[in-house]
Amino acid sequence: MAEIFHDSFCQHFHVPPERYEREVLQRTLTPGARLLRGFLQLTDRNYFAVDREFIAAIGRLTRHGDFHAEAQDFHDHPDNRGYLRRAWRLRVSATLMRGLIDQVWPDFAARRTRSTPSLSPFAQRSEPPSPPTAGAPNL
């Protein structure tokens, strides 16, 4: 059975398992949320409850590919609809969370970046243009 992210994170960063949530929260909060964390918790003890649920769900992952579904659930969570969480982004960042997962499970991140990029519609092609056919008007 594959190792869960919680255990991989704790091993990678040498963090005791009981500090997993606190460490991940600190590493994935947006800068504004990190700065105002104390004030936000003072005004609402449960302000970061949905973030903690997201962190716990990520901790149960056994493969990187399931991240998107958890991130979508976090994004769509009803408690994430408030002005401070949406407009001011005073919450956990899914982008920072993905970066953290890539740090802990780098083998998957390397496979994702090694995939062949598609050409942009305006990219130069390496093959020369085909010669015009006989009898065709030369434009």
Structure tokens at 134: 């006989």
Using CA atoms, how far apart are residues 98 and 109, in angstroms rounded to an integer? 10
pLDDT at residue 114 greater than cutoff 70: no
Q: Could you give the number of structural domains in the chain? A: 1
- What is the pLDDT, as a whole number, of residue 92? 98
Q: Which range marks the domain in which residue 49 is found?
A: 5-109
Q: What is the pLDDT of residues 124-138, one digit of tens each?
A: 445 555 555 666 555
Residue 105: closest CA among 71, 134, 58, 63: 63
**In the predicted model, what is the mean pLDDT of the chain?**
86
Answer whether residue 123 shows pLDDT above 60.
Answer: no
Rounded to two decimals, the pTM is: 0.77
Q: Is residue 34 part of a domain?
A: yes
91 falls within a domain:
yes
Please report, for residues 114, 128, 130, 137, the alpha-carbon distance to residue 133 in angstroms, rounded to integers and kept in the order given: 39, 15, 9, 9
Query: What mean pLDDT comes out for the span 101-107?
Result: 92
**pLDDT computed for residue 119 by the predictor:** 46
In a domain, 40, yes or no: yes
CA dist., res. 120 & res. 39, Å (int): 46
Please indicate, yes or no, if residue 54 is contained in any of the structural domains. Answer: yes
**Closest-CA residue to 98 (of 89, 86, 106):** 106
Q: What is the pLDDT of residues 40-78, one digit of tens each?
A: 999 999 999 999 999 999 999 999 999 999 999 999 999
Quick one: what percent of the chain has pLDDT higher than 90?
Answer: 73
On whether residue 118 sits in a domain, the answer given is: no
Give the mean model confidence (pLDDT) for residues 84-91: 95
Q: Is residue 115 part of a domain?
A: no
